[in-house]
């Protein structure tokens, strides 16, 4: 409804506006009321379409006040737009990029990465609409933007300039990221987990960046190309080369071993050690830190999986901070078959003990589950509700997530000799972005002194890891009761 008065101002003369405002303010005569009602009735028709300027010529799209038809604008840029009924979300794609979004939300998954949008996407008269800034954010991955001058929208190709390609080149001397197609010498800024190349003149990505062991992905915003590096990979040096022109980023030699390809299964498991960096997670009476236990268990689980021929990757392999959204983003980019977030619990009930396995739900199954989610969500950005709404669109994975959780919990019950402890549900933010079956495991209670001491012991960590790996493998090998909407498998190098 907020859009209506604005539309009045833009469609009708300021003079009429001047007359209307005092009339409204002073209680209004019948005649004025009639005029307003008539305006409100005719406005939807008047504002139903707007002419958009595009490089190929003008085109009419649906608009309502400041809101524009998102799907029509995406199609005008050449993107294919489809509705996935199972997920309740729209998907816009080209050969290079994919953007998924759900009306009612203010989030988009861009190339597998969950991004907040400047504003919500709405449904008006059966049209998917959004304000200019949100439209621009949805168009950006495809190299387009939309500006609105004097109420007239215009679609513009954002990129231009050199068409660059990024590849990983392995040589006996070391591994490099090679940016082909540029004569520029960008400013290189290395940070933890990423290197940013700031070009002077515009560039566009001529080809999608294929994730590899060292390079997780790339994002181009304006003239800055951000290359996301695998944990442990560092930038050693950078320099331009001629003939053909290219820019080389040499990577550090402390490169982790490339994952062993899972022969036959094609499954990739992403293990997510909870917390890290300043975020220590729960703490035991003898200073046992959740962040240390989770990474130790995750590493051991990865080793057990690899030994069984299943490829495993960690969202962090050291003590670095990783945002909750980046954790599932890695799994999405790698098109992982399974995402398992590993944690250790804390409870005010001193006697609480044993492992618990959760899967995502907007509503917690019990007060203790709610408490666990609240604690694990502490490092999440403020807009938790939006994330939860988003996840509900992924109901298609819920059955498989429940199956995965059950498979893991069964093994943990057997290990810990616990009478059947069932799986639980809670709104864990870290699981909301996952587009594959996902679960969160609390391997035990750090608030319980005895259990905390056990969880810190390497042999116990390894036993838990073996149980986790078995549970995951059982899930992967079991016949799938229903088709998953997400294609599973490792990316081709």
Q: Which is nearer to Zn ion, 276 or 281 (CB)?
A: 281
Stretch that binds Zn ion, among 112-120, 219-227, 322-330, 338-346 (CB under 5 A): 338-346
Please state the closest distance from residue 344 (CB atom) to Zn ion, in A.
6
Q: Which is nearer to Zn ion, 304 or 343 (CB)?
A: 343
Please state the closest distance from residue 274 (CB atom) to Zn ion, in A.
4
Look at residue 51 and give its three-state secondary structure: strand
Token couple for 14 = 């300021």
Token couple for 99 = 């953007």
Sign of the dihedral through C-alpha 463, 468, 471, 472: negative
Q: Which is nearer to Zn ion, 186 or 281 (CB)?
A: 281
Q: Which of 143, 217, 281, 433 contacts Zn ion by CB under 5 A?
A: 281
Please state the closest distance from residue 333 (CB atom) to Zn ion, in A.
23
Buried b (16+ CB within 10 A) or exposed e, 146-162: bebeeeebebbebbeeb
Site string for Zn ion, 292-331 (x = CB under 5 A): ----------------------------------------
Stretch that binds Zn ion, among 219-227, 321-329, 337-345, 462-470 (CB under 5 A): 337-345
Helix, strand, coil percentages, rounded to 5, for the chain = 30, 30, 35
Q: Which is nearer to Zn ion, 163 or 375 (CB)?
A: 375
The helix or strand, by DSSP H or E, that contains position 163, with its residue range, turns out to be strand 162-171
Please state the closest distance from residue 361 (CB atom) to Zn ion, in A.
18
Over the Cα atoms of the chain, what is R_g?
A: 26
Q: Does 376 bind Zn ion (CB under 5 A)?
A: yes
Site size for Zn ion, by CB under 5 A? 4
**Of 455, 461, 446, 463, residue with least CA distance to 352:** 446
Count of all residues that appear for the chain in the document: 493
Please state the closest distance from residue 263 (CB atom) to Zn ion, in A.
33
Sign of the dihedral through C-alpha 316, 113, 361, 313: negative
Q: Which is nearer to Zn ion, 211 or 281 (CB)?
A: 281
By CB under 5 A, the residues from 109 to 128 that bind Zn ion are: none
Please state the closest distance from residue 380 (CB atom) to Zn ion, in A.
12
Please state the closest distance from residue 342 (CB atom) to Zn ion, in A.
8
What's the rounded Cα separation, in Å, for the pair 354 and 467? 13
Stretch that binds Zn ion, among 116-124, 311-319, 371-379, 445-453 (CB under 5 A): 371-379
Q: Which is nearer to Zn ion, 214 or 376 (CB)?
A: 376
**Of 137, 5, 126, 155, residue with least CA distance to 65:** 5
Given a contact cutoff of 8 angstroms between Cβ atoms, the answer to whether 111 and 95 are in contact is no
**Of 234, 245, 227, 219, residue with least CA distance to 175:** 234
Stretch that binds Zn ion, among 60-68, 136-144, 250-258, 373-381 (CB under 5 A): 373-381
Q: Which is nearer to Zn ion, 274 or 354 (CB)?
A: 274
Please state the closest distance from residue 347 (CB atom) to Zn ion, in A.
13
Q: Which is nearer to Zn ion, 211 or 284 (CB)?
A: 284
- Supply angle C-alpha 363, 392, 332, rounded to 5: 120
Please state the closest distance from residue 291 (CB atom) to Zn ion, in A.
8
Q: Which of 291, 343, 394, 454 contacts Zn ion by CB under 5 A?
A: 343
57 burial type by CB count under 10 A (0-12 exposed, 13-18 middle, 19+ buried) = exposed
Q: Which is nearer to Zn ion, 446 or 467 (CB)?
A: 446
Residue located via tokens 């498991």: 269
What's the rounded Cα separation, in Å, for the pair 331 and 109? 13
Q: Does 444 bind Zn ion (CB under 5 A)?
A: no
Residues 6+ apart with CB under 8 A from 8: 17, 20, 39, 43
Token couple for 267 = 């499954």
Sheet holding 67-69, edge to edge: 122-124, 127-131, 67-69, 57-64, 49-54, 152-157, 144-149
Q: Which is nearer to Zn ion, 112 or 281 (CB)?
A: 281
Q: Give CA torsion, residues 466, 464, 296, 367, to 10 deg.
A: 140
Q: Which is nearer to Zn ion, 268 or 322 (CB)?
A: 322
Please state the closest distance from residue 377 (CB atom) to Zn ion, in A.
10
Please state the closest distance from residue 118 (CB atom) to Zn ion, in A.
31
Q: Which is nearer to Zn ion, 288 or 376 (CB)?
A: 376
Residue nearest Zn ion by beta-carbon distance = 343
Q: Does 274 bind Zn ion (CB under 5 A)?
A: yes
Q: Which residues bind Zn ion (CB under 5 A)?
A: 274, 281, 343, 376
């Amino acid at each position: 409804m907020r859009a209506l008065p604005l539309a009045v101002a833009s469609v009708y003369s300021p003079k009429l506006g001047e007359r209307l405002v005092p009339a409204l303010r002073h209680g209004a005569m019948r005649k004025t009321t009639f005029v307003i009602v008539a305006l409100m009735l005719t406005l939807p028709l008047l504002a139903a379409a707007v002419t958009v300027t595009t490089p190929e010529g003008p085109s009419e799209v649906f608009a309502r006040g400041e809101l524009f038809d998102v799907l029509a604008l995406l199609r005008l840029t050449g993107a294919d737009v489809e509705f996935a009924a199972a997920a309740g979300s729209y998907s816009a794609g080209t050969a290079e990029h994919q953007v998924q979004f759900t009306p009612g939300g203010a989030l988009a998954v861009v190339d597998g990465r969950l991004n907040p949008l400047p504003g919500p996407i709405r449904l008006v008269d059966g049209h998917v609409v959004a304000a200019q800034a949100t439209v621009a954010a949805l168009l950006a991955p495809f190299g387009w933007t939309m500006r609105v001058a004097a109420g007239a929208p215009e679609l513009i190709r954002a990129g231009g300039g050199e068409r660059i390609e990024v590849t990983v080149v392995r040589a006996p001397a070391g591994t490099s990221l090679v940016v082909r197609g540029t004569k520029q010498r960008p400013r290189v800024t290395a940070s933890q987990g990423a290197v940013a190349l700031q070009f002077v003149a515009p560039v566009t990505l001529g080809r999608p960046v294929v994730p590899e062991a060292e390079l997780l992905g790339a994002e181009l915003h304006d003239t800055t190309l951000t290359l996301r590096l695998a944990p442990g990979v560092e930038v050693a040096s950078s320099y331009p080369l001629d003939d053909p022109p290219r820019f080389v980023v040499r990577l550090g030699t402390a490169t982790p071993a490339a994952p062993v390809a899972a022969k036959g299964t094609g499954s990739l498991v992403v293990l997510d050690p909870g917390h890290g960096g300043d975020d220590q997670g729960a703490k035991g009476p003898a200073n046992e830190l959740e962040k240390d236990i989770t990474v130790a268990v995750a590493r051991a689980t990865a080793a057990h999986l690899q030994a069984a021929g299943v490829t495993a990757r960690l969202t962090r392999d050291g003590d670095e901070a990783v945002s909750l959204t980046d954790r599932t983003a890695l799994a999405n980019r790698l098109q992982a078959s399974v995402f398992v977030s590993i944690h250790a619990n804390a409870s005010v009930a001193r006697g609480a003990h044993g492992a618990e396995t959760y899967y995502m739900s907007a509503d917690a199954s019990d007060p203790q589950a709610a408490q666990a989610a609240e604690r694990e969500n502490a490092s999440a950005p403020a807009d938790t509700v939006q994330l939860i709404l988003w996840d509900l669109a992924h109901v298609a994975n819920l059955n498989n997530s429940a199956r995965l959780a059950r498979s893991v919990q069964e093994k943990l019950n057997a290990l810990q000799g616990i009478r059947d402890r069932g799986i639980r549900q809670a709104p864990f933010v870290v699981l909301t972005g996952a587009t594959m079956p996902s679960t969160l495991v609390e391997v035990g209670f750090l608030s319980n002194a005895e259990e905390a001491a056990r969880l810190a012991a390497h042999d116990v960590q390894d036993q838990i890891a073996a149980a986790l790996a078995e549970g995951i493998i059982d899930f992967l090998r079991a016949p799938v009761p229903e088709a998953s909407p997400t294609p599973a498998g490792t990316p081709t190098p």
